[in-house]
Structure 1
Amino acid sequence: MTPLRVIDSGLADACANVAMSGALAELHQAGRIGDTLRLHRYPRSVLLGLHSPEEAVDRAACARLGAQVVRRVSGGGAIAMEPGILAWDLLVTRPPNRAPEDLSRDLCEAIAAALAGCGVEAAFRAPGDIVAREGKLGGTAGLFEGMTMLHQGSLLIDADPGVMAQLLGMADLPVTTLARIAAEPPEAGRVAGVIARAIAAALGRDPVQGDLSTEEIAMARRMAGKEMPWPAAC
């Protein structure tokens, strides 16, 4: 079975995380790295989609609640992030016989099914959500450049939907968390393992643990426009 490199880069500055997503995408497109899954987490922040309007975020609330605001490299709407939300970047070469939306659906369905192992009944909802009966648990977005597919997603393990709504200038968010609905309190490391195995299985790959390379770190730092440690202390 072909290996899939899996990296868990932990909790890092929002700008650093977005820069690393861009660096991995560029390096994969250039053929300098193989297919890679990066798991990571953000401090309290708002990630604007590539084309999201500035009005999609409440700047005053972000300042009051100590949230960074950055623009990510993929499309989709603005999303609020907290340390209890698991995020991932999946960089793969697109199979020539599968449409990107079909591959994205397969990945989401595999993740939803795997959450049963965490005591949660979840399902895929087009175009890119993972939902439970109690609300949305996660969402995904994608970026396609040549034969490279960047599939990005996030899963709410333990976060405050009320705070997230404030950051986005909304009265409320129709979301829930694993901490609220799982039969047992979810352990973040276990959930990360469940997600990694589900994604690898959906691709027919063997997950192999790896680390960020010197080249990846250097490119991310250049893209961030400042020298910052990687990974940041958790």
Structure 2
Amino acid sequence: MSTASWRDHDWQLVHTGPQSPSLHMALDEVLTAEVSAGRRPPTLRVWEWASPAVVIGRFQSLRNEVDADEAVRHGIEVVRRISGGGAMFIEPGNTITYSVYAPLALVEGMSFQDSYELMDRWVIAALRGLGVEASYQPLNDITSPAGKIAGAAQARRGNAVLHHVTMAYDIDAAKMLQVLRIGREKLSDKATQSANKRVDPLRSQTGLPRATVIERMVDSFRDMHGLADGQLTADELGRATELARSKFASPEWTGIVP
């Protein structure tokens, strides 16, 4: 097990205005590399989405996961991230997404299950503080008796681990089922009701505005691990912008597993 502690590090918060789906993918790659190289302190980044998206995992088949015609019809961009795991359906006001860029030492020697559980602990504490009976469900879900709340994914790069989570604040289950192929078979009977059962959003569980939920989450991280306000450097943003254009917005990368 790892002997490193979160408190051994000076954590920094990055929470900017809305950005494009491809730029978010690129920022994950750039900031993981920066933390790995020691040029950036370990960081919690809260995402704001400029537009709707489907984010598929690194190893998922594009055509198996997404109905391309429906995505176009609904104006939804499809992007592929650098971590594994399943597809995420994103609508800006309905989604809470964050990334933790941590030193690998924090999870060194841990199984993937132990590292997911460790990385989710602070947010589960935050949700419980909001009255949600949240718990970690292996391998990569955060759930409650009412249904799934969030899905996580990880990538280990160099001396850093990227752990990112997408949480349902609210959900348009009917639209999600039109755009995502996955689960259609399982959910074809009374599809929308089934999807709503499987995912129970934080809005219905807390009654709080999205911004308040995020604020409480950040407070929980700060209380447990320490957290100072930070920002992206011009260099990081410049490199991510170029990477978004050359890689993450490209059909070649998105379709790397057809």
Range of TM-score over shorter length: 0.7 to 0.9
Rounded Cα–Cα distance in structure 2 between residues aligned with 1:214 and 1:11: 17
Indicate the residue corresponding to 1:181 in structure 2: 205
Q: Which amino acid aligns with 1:196?
A: V
Give matches, 1:91-170, under 5 Å.
91-95=101-105, 98-99=109-110, 101=112, 102-169=114-181, 170=184
Q: 1 CA distance for matches of 2:104 and 2:25?
A: 22
Flag the structure with higher strand content: 1
TM value normalised by structure 1 = 0.87
Task: Please identify, of 66-75 and 94-103, the stretch whose mean Cα deviation from structure 2 is larger.
Answer: 94-103
The residue identity in structure 2 corresponding to 1:49 is G
Q: Distance in 2 between matches of 1:161 and 1:41?
A: 21
Contact 2:37 2:159 in 1 (8 A): no
Contact 2:126 2:216 in 1 (8 A): yes
Q: Which moved more, 1:165-174 or 1:8-17?
A: 165-174
Q: Which whole-Å CA distance do the structure 2 matches of 1:66 and 1:93 have between them?
A: 37
Contact 1:158–1:177 (8 Å) recurs in 2? yes
- SS at 1:11 equivalent: coil
Q: In the alignment, is the contact (CA less than 8 A) between 1:9 and 1:40 conserved in 2?
A: yes
Give deviations 1:112-160, integer Å, cap 9, x for gaps. 2321222322111000101112211101000001221000101111222
Number of aligned residues: 222
Q: Which amino acid aligns with 2:143?
A: V
5+ residue gaps, structure 1, are: 227-234
Paired position in structure 2 for 1:229: none
Percent identity, please: 26
Q: Deviations over 1:1-53 (max 9, x none)?
A: 54210111232211111111111122222222110110003321100101110
Q: Secondary structure at the match of 2:238?
A: helix
Deviation per CA, 1:60-94: give whole Å up to 9, x if none: 11111110001011111111111121111111102
Query: Deviations for 1:152-210, whole angstroms, at most 9, x for unmatched residues?
Result: 1011112222222222123443211011222xx22222211222343455xx5211111
Which residue identity is paired with 1:58?
A: D
Task: Tell me the equivalent position of 1:6.
Answer: 13
Partners of 1:195 and 1:98 lie apart in 2 by 27
Q: Give, in angstroms, the shift of residue 213 of structure 1.
A: 1.0
Q: Equivalent residue of 1:51, what SS?
A: coil
Where 1:52 maps in the other structure, the secondary structure is coil
Q: Which runs of 5+ in 2 are unaligned?
A: 1-6, 247-258
Q: Cα distance 1:15–1:38, how it changes in 2: closer, same or farther (>3 A)?
A: same
Q: Take 2:17 and 2:177, find their aligned partners in 1: how far apart are those partners? A: 24
- Tell me which protein shows more helix as a share of its residues: 2
Post-superposition offset of 1:219: 0.9
Q: Which of 76, 79, 100 is equivalent to 1:70?
A: 79
- Indicate how the Cα distance of structure 1 residues 81 and 100 shifts in structure 2: closer, same or farther if over 3 A, else same: farther
Q: 2:91 aligns with which of 72, 82, 87?
A: 82
> Could you say which residue in structure 1 is the equivalent of 2:215?
193
- Whether 2:55 is the aligned partner of 1:47: answer yes
RMSD across aligned positions (CA): 1.9
For the residue of structure 2 that corresponds to 1:95, the secondary structure is helix
Matched, 1:38 2:38: no
